[in-house]
Amino acid sequence: MYNINQSTDTKEAAAIKARRNREKEQQNRFFNVRNRVMGVDVQALNNQVGDRKHREAAERSKEAAYDALSNQLRLAMDAQATHLARLEESCRVAMMCAMANANKAQAAAQAGHQRCERQCEQKANLAEIQHQSTSDLLTENPQVAQHRMAPYWVLPYC
């Protein structure tokens, strides 16, 4: 019997201790002016803080992902811009080379036309000089100065 009484005594002591703890917690809740006046639900506040931290962490990870994607996009755009700049530079160099060749060809053609015109003018001048030097005026041909009707008359203007 002694064992039975001891087990009930320990059970009763545990129940009494649990009741006292519950009463202390209740008194702490009831007599805590801050909680009672403001009506603060600590568990709900802790849940809100945890939710906010979780939401902020999610936003930070989302922003990090957006930043990484933005960096990749910016790098790709920079690479494309440098590629286009190189292409434009090579096109500009090719265009300048083609323009220089066209200008050289045009200058050569113009020089050829001027040379041809000078040769033609020189030929015409030479032909005129030849004609003048062999003409009746410079050779003083007496037949030119005779009148047709009267061969013994000399024309004064010849």
pLDDT tens track of the chain, all 158 residues? Answer: 455 556 678 889 999 999 999 999 888 877 777 666 566 677 888 899 999 999 999 999 999 999 999 999 999 999 999 999 999 999 999 999 999 999 999 999 999 999 999 999 999 999 999 988 888 777 777 777 676 777 777 666 65
Structure tokens at 3: 């064992």
- The ranges assigned to domains in the chain are 41-106
What local confidence, expressed as pLDDT, does residue 106 receive? 97
**pTM of the complete model:** 0.43
- Contact present, 38 and 44 (Cβ < 8 Å): no
- Contact present, 146 and 154 (Cβ < 8 Å): yes
Structure tokens at 89: 């530079």
Query: What residues does 146 pair with on adjacent strands?
Result: 154
- Could you tell me which of 145, 127, 128 has the C-alpha nearest to residue 136? 145
- At position 66, the amino acid (one-letter code) is Y
Structure tokens at 81: 């811009």
What local confidence, expressed as pLDDT, does residue 7 receive? 66
DSSP string, 15-82: HHHHHHHHHHHHHHHHH-HHHHHHT--HHHHHHHHHHHHHHHHHHHHHHHHHHHHHHHHHHHHHHHHH
Which residues neighbour 34 within 8 Å (Cβ) at sequence distance 6 or greater?
40
What local confidence, expressed as pLDDT, does residue 5 receive? 56
What local confidence, expressed as pLDDT, does residue 1 receive? 45
Q: How far is CA 23 from the centre of its chain?
A: 75
Per DSSP, the three-state class of 146 is strand
Structure tokens at 4: 């039975």
What local confidence, expressed as pLDDT, does residue 137 receive? 72
